[in-house]
Amino acid sequence: MTASSSDGSVDLVTLGQRLRHLRRSKNMTLDQLSSAVGRAPSQLSLIENGKREPKLSVLQAIAGALGVPMQDLLRPEAPSRRAGLEIELAHFQREPAYQALGLPMVRGGRRLPADALESLIGLHRELTRVLTEQSATPEVARRANQQLREQMRERNNYFADIEQAAAEILQSVKHTTGPLSQRGILDIAAQLGFTLHYVPDLPDSTRSVTDLRNRRIYLPQVASNKGHDPRAVVLQTLGHFVLGHEDPSDYGDFLRQRVEANYFAAALLMPEKFAVDFLRDAKADRALAIDDFRDAFGVSYETAAHRFTNLATHHFGIPVHFCRVHESGTVYKAYENDGVRFPADVTGAIEGQPVCRNWASRTVFQSANPYSSFYQFTDTVGGTYWCTVHVESTRSGEFSVTVGTPYEHARWFRGGDTTRRTVSRCPDPDCCRRPPAALVEQWAGHAWPSARVHSHLLAALPPGTFPGVDAQDVYEFLERRVQS
């Protein structure tokens, strides 16, 4: 950390250190200097400790007494390495993060041993690094998510340049049929000069690790314990190189790269040309279905649903929405260009917000067989939408994956003639945000749920009687217990 502040003003700690250094190098005591400039020693001591800003006239007098130009006192550099560390220590201790700890202020003077000073500085630097890393959390993340969603909507979630890059690669490995095989993936990796290595000890926090020098991609041996398609992981990794990604400059950049790499992988697993042919035939039969799309290309339902949003508007003029919703009712992922109004907080963020209980993404959990094909029309305040929903079980519970479209486009889909229909008046709180009056009367004031907080949704807790808790669920639960 340099002692000069960015606005060009003089840093008092550095000024004091330079003054002390010059005075000692001239073998002057504080008393000698103070009598030479006609000021009290205590006053000079405050200046040397960076605790008082000297007047210009005092600085001139000091420079004169020391026999140096005044500029020597005002330079921004620390006069020595030791002094530099002392200045850094003083700055660290003035940070709110340090002051919040309520620890004593350590003076960096001569009595502080060099190793103690080095150790303190090392700890401060590490603390600052950790705090900076953590600052890429809820607020920043949610804003970045929102911006990215807007950019995706502007281009109808269709990335022509990535489609092009994927098409060129498929051509280079002479891929001419529909889905991409494992063999095809090895060919692509080889074509790009990478070898794949499956290892048992990949770091927990990684999907893959790439040795750039030796162009080796390390992948987990136990491929899919988190439900990731191992082919997709390889292709996502290759995507970062093909798309020229560099170290992300911030969280938004990181997210964008993630989206692009995932897009690239999907564009290889479900090549545009073949996917569009497939969908065109299905549309002609008025039988568009995400399950069929998935089966034709051997990918996960979510990958197929997401890929459908890439192509539906651009190629077929069908506006769509997509969301992944936890069984608890909160949104994990969402995209729309069909005007559907996802629940949002005051900042416009969607992740972590509760979806209307009457939306297909939630009613599906009440259906007799949530794992079979589920279709629903929903009348919302913004119009009627048709949705198809798929439920999948994961280690963190069940999730619904929804693809929806405005009423007039339902006719292109299988299940577009469903008679199932619900009404959603959200965001009117009387739609589903308030428990029924009878339950409130019965239980308000007599229930004390303890919230189970999802750390990644911390900043997105829905408002309610108890933060993070759905009061209606709690009341209904108690009602059932009492009655049984």
Site mask for Zn ion (CB under 5 A), range 309-338, x = bound: ------------------------------
Closest separation between CB of residue 422 and Zn ion, Å?
9
The residue whose Cβ lies closest to Zn ion is 356
Could you tell me whether strands 421-423 and 374-380 are parallel, antiparallel, or unpaired per DSSP bridges? parallel
Contacting residues for 346 by C-beta, under 8 A, at least 6 apart = none
Site mask for Zn ion (CB under 5 A), range 161-190, x = bound: ------------------------------
Three-state DSSP at 41 gives helix
CA separation for the pair 91, 107 (Å, rounded): 11
| Long-range pairs for 221-225: beta carbons < 8 A, 24 or more residues apart | 223/198
Taken as a whole, the chain contains a residue count of: 484
Can you spell out the DSSP letters for 331-360?
A: EEEEEESS-------TT---TTPBPPTTSH
Closest separation between CB of residue 401 and Zn ion, Å?
20
CA separation for the pair 234, 468 (Å, rounded): 37
Closest separation between CB of residue 359 and Zn ion, Å?
7
Contacting residues for 159 by C-beta, under 8 A, at least 6 apart = 260, 263, 310
Nearer to Zn ion, 253 or 379 (CB): 379
Radius of gyration of the chain (CA): 32
Closest separation between CB of residue 417 and Zn ion, Å?
25
Closest separation between CB of residue 381 and Zn ion, Å?
10
Site mask for Zn ion (CB under 5 A), range 352-391, x = bound: ----x-----------------------------------
Nearer to Zn ion, 15 or 355 (CB): 355
Nearer to Zn ion, 357 or 409 (CB): 357
Positions in 385-424 near Zn ion (CB under 5 A): 424
Closest separation between CB of residue 431 and Zn ion, Å?
3
Residue 470: DSSP 8-state:
-
Contacting residues for 410 by C-beta, under 8 A, at least 6 apart = 377, 386, 416
Count residues binding Zn ion (CB under 5 A): 5
- Tell me the H-state helices in 243-348: 251-269, 272-284, 290-297, 301-316
Closest separation between CB of residue 372 and Zn ion, Å?
24
* Longest alpha-carbon distance in the chain: 100
The single residue among 46, 148, 167, 431 that binds Zn ion, judged by CB under 5 A, is: 431
The single residue among 279, 432, 460, 474 that binds Zn ion, judged by CB under 5 A, is: 432
Nearer to Zn ion, 73 or 432 (CB): 432
Residues found near Zn ion in the complex (CB under 5 A): 356, 424, 426, 431-432
